[in-house]
Structure 1
């Protein structure tokens, strides 16, 4: 089974340049971006079997990742 990565640039390719710009110039965006990346990495490690967790914990990580993506998308759209 192939694990699907959810990098922000892949998820929102139309904002690739804006993502880079905001990461460099907006500390709040950069922090949220880093949090999103960390959550995505944690989900991938669990799905790859590198780490084990309960299904409930994995789902909570995925929900947190989605909430961060929504926040980041809103910031990108309004930038």
Structure 2
């Protein structure tokens, strides 16, 4: 499998331990990270033309990824 950019451990390298811990202890956080990973894979597949999609749909998926990332970051900063 190819490397998928924007994975959470790369986006927040200093929070890798917190991400792992919260995925184990917080069901809402675990759901958010799972959804982020799914959306991120879809965007990556569209960007690399493995599964192309219309520009508008791709843009909406990028916005969704950004919103999930923001919510995840907020939870990570509260947990620290």
- Interval containing the TM-score (normalised by the shorter chain): over 0.9
Query: Structure 2 length as normaliser, TM-score?
Result: 0.92
Runs of 5+ unmatched residues, structure 1: none
Runs of 5+ unmatched residues, structure 2: none
Per the alignment, residue 44 of structure 2 pairs with: 44
Query: Structure 1 length as normaliser, TM-score?
Result: 0.93
Alignment size in residue pairs: 77
Distance in 1 separating the partners of 2:32 and 2:65: 10
The CA RMSD measured in Å over matched residues stands at: 1.3
Instruction: Provide runs of 4+ in structure 1 moved above 2 Å.
Output: none
Over 3 Å counting, the alpha-carbon distance change for 1:33 and 1:4 in structure 2 is closer
